[in-house]
Structure 1
């Protein structure tokens, strides 16, 4: 068994409920090799492979095996598509055979990672992208928001940018001319410029000559641009660039399978990413968990206990032992605070936050996910709320583009089938 498959397991209680059997029957299945089990981390319990449980459940219902397998894959199961972009490992995502945390730790430029994901070619040095002017009609559209936006609106605004870029025939030309890489760069710098609506200028921040995406984000947010802050933001951009078939990535691939232009594919992905259960985790952390006063964090332990996974992204199901991406961002936040480059309030807030997250790890076995790592890092850098959401979307656009380009080469329509089931009629109790 691969490490990837053991990331998706269920407890004994979950297995018994799913199969509607007694514990003795489950143990018999294990002894016969029908269900594979592994020891729990505490050494007293066992965990069971979800795919084996689902296969047995399908047999008990009498469903065709192929239909049952297909259904289970859409529930955080086995891969449903062949892809050579990202592999999920216990140490985090691996981009084309390079661990994301290793790339970030080595100081790799985000631009180099974008090139690796989209083309499969690794550039060891930072190659400055040639200037790409955001089209005047897009700038006119964005000018409506001069004066600033609410932090909770940044995701929706970034979702509109790709659609605006697709207008004036640019989307059609992207498909006809094969200009996906240039289109991706244009999207990235245009979306990064929108961080300026959250910063002190409250206006679009165009990329300067020779400036990196990390530098553009920092400048737009009104933060200090130093080698240390650039490296911190780059760390976040690199580790968040792709995470295999996340819901938003799958949305991008579905759109790509219909031959939509790359701008529309990314817009579809952003629409999925900012759903309540996914990308808005950063906003919920800012407003419900790491909100002021931070001195009252200890009073919010019950929120973590009850809603830690669903609201704040603790214990990502693909990284049962902890998310190395989040750990790396928390480390970067601690280093920024330790250097004393941020304000005293930011330094103290970072100290309190990291201590609280370590307590949650010890007492609740609650491992912070990337949204927590990202918000903590943004706060350590003194970035305005909403910037974490923007960084995540800008970063993940690199992965979305890579998946769109790969899906185009596979040349088939992604169209699952539904299994129609009748529902009882309220009048006579029969199927309608």
Structure 2
């Protein structure tokens, strides 16, 4: 019986309910008598248990009466945290995955697979990890001009239809599918030969014809830096879907749909154009000046969470520089262009660069096409989405914020007309 050992997360003891509400037992009993709080008894247990969702509703009403409404509203716009999570910590301008510094994970050369397993389990594997493909024939990659996110949406939906046990919520099975999904995403966005390496970064490097160690290092760094970033828009979408009981496929589809917006996952397309397609006849200084004079942020610059700079950028720039130096040619040319933009932006007082610029730097150093930065981003972020889907399932409540109504006041109907 759930109530016997009090492992049912939907129920609370009287002491727990009182602590959450900040009230005495007499007030708790009054809520029950007024029908505002459900109480249940369980065989073999003394004392009643109280419905968590009723307690949370009472807490929300109390905060609203105390003027919490504006605070709650601001929380949805880069404000105060609204969910508990043990996955990613952003603190003092640094990022930590399950307590491990992202900067250190990159510096010590961990692979993307190792970091993904860390996000999922909380344990960092010390040996290289090999992932198996899903036993699903998902067909050949979609060789069309369709946007990247739509191709991934199509592939995920197709795989969901082919997987007869896709709604299995066991953690081991979910992770098995997640590993296979990431491999499928790599093969969709970076199609290669059947003999390609199993690890993701070497697999991508092999598909684009680069076998230098610098290429694999740069790809791993891009995937790891993209793997998670707390409660961003696509991750929140994944958690909302997971909170309703949606399976892994459906939850990730929700995330990819959010990722497909130009203000999120496809922002690097604008950065790529900014670097590679300056207006004809314009100097870089004029290009930046025109943008600044029109009160626009430079593509790939500025992040509201990092006043002192996005900590993901410099490691990616270092990898891109090493790769460009090894490859020479066009890679070196584009790296010099990026360095020039960074120098000008600094002298002109622009905000510091963000992840999108770092991803584009790596993509250009690798010789990837326009969507290369977004492709690396979405493959890496699949790991974070999976971690948050699992965590939301474990938390066991449905995400359902309220809206503050600001429309027309209610009015009576007279003969069907207002």
Structure 1 residue 109: Cα displacement: 0.5
One of 119, 122, 126 as aligned partner of 1:120: 122
Q: What is the rounded CA distance, in whole Å, between the counterparts of 1:307 and 1:190 in structure 2?
A: 42
Aligned runs of 1:124-135 on 2, under 5 Å?
124-129=126-131, 131-133=132-134, 135=136
Would the aligned equivalents of 1:314 and 1:367 in 2 still touch at CA under 8 Å? yes
Would the aligned equivalents of 1:289 and 1:297 in 2 still touch at CA under 8 Å? no
Q: Which residue of 2 aligns with 1:162?
A: 156
Q: Per-residue CA shift, 1:347-405, capped at 9, x if unaligned?
A: 12211211211220232232111101110111012122211111000001100000000
Would the aligned equivalents of 1:93 and 1:242 in 2 still touch at CA under 8 Å? no
1:330 aligns with 2:317: yes
Q: Which residue of 2 aligns with 1:68?
A: 70
Distance 1:282 1:177, change over 3 A: closer
Q: What is the rounded CA distance, in whole Å, between the counterparts of 1:205 and 1:383 in structure 2?
A: 14
Structure 1 residue 233: Cα displacement: 0.7
Structure 1 residue 101: Cα displacement: 1.8
Q: Which residue of 2 aligns with 1:27?
A: none
Point out where structure 1 has 5 or more consecutive residues left out of the alignment.
Answer: 1-61, 197-203, 426-431
Structure 1 residue 421: Cα displacement: 1.6
One of 242, 256, 279 as aligned partner of 2:265: 279
SS of the counterpart of 1:128? coil
Structure 1 residue 94: Cα displacement: 0.6
Would the aligned equivalents of 1:160 and 1:267 in 2 still touch at CA under 8 Å? no
Q: What is the rounded CA distance, in whole Å, between the counterparts of 1:400 and 1:206 in structure 2?
A: 28
| Greater mean alpha carbon deviation, residues 162-171 or residues 99-108 | 162-171
Structure 1 residue 271: Cα displacement: 0.9
Distance 1:228 1:170, change over 3 A: farther
Q: 4+ runs of 1 displaced by more than 6 Å?
A: none
Q: What is the rounded CA distance, in whole Å, between the counterparts of 1:413 and 1:370 in structure 2?
A: 31
Q: What is the rounded CA distance, in whole Å, between the counterparts of 1:233 and 1:214 in structure 2?
A: 5
Bigger helix share: 1
TM-score (normalised: structure 1): 0.74
1:205 aligns with 2:166: no
Would the aligned equivalents of 2:321 and 2:335 in 1 still touch at CA under 8 Å? yes
Q: Per-residue CA shift, 1:123-154, capped at 9, x if unaligned?
A: 1221222x315622x215x4xx33x436xx11
SS of the counterpart of 1:93? strand
Distance 1:315 1:308, change over 3 A: farther
CA RMSD after TM alignment = 2.5
Aligned runs of 1:214-253 on 2, under 5 Å?
214-220=201-207, 222-253=208-239
SS of the counterpart of 1:65? coil
Would the aligned equivalents of 1:252 and 1:265 in 2 still touch at CA under 8 Å? yes
Aligned runs of 1:49-88 on 2, under 5 Å?
64-88=66-90
SS of the counterpart of 1:312? coil
Q: Which structure has the larger Rg over C-alpha atoms?
A: 2
Q: Which residue of 1 aligns with 2:374?
A: 389
Structure 1 residue 288: Cα displacement: 3.7
Q: What is the rounded CA distance, in whole Å, between the counterparts of 2:165 and 2:274 in structure 1?
A: 39
Would the aligned equivalents of 1:265 and 1:404 in 2 still touch at CA under 8 Å? yes
Q: What is the rounded CA distance, in whole Å, between the counterparts of 1:63 and 1:206 in structure 2?
A: 62
Q: What is the rounded CA distance, in whole Å, between the counterparts of 1:78 and 1:387 in structure 2?
A: 33
Would the aligned equivalents of 1:189 and 1:207 in 2 still touch at CA under 8 Å? no
Aligned length: 347
TM-score (normalised: structure 2): 0.77
Structure 1 residue 287: Cα displacement: 2.3
Q: What is the rounded CA distance, in whole Å, between the counterparts of 2:194 and 2:80 in structure 1?
A: 40
| Greater mean alpha carbon deviation, residues 240-249 or residues 288-297 | 288-297
Q: Which residue of 2 aligns with 1:110?
A: 112
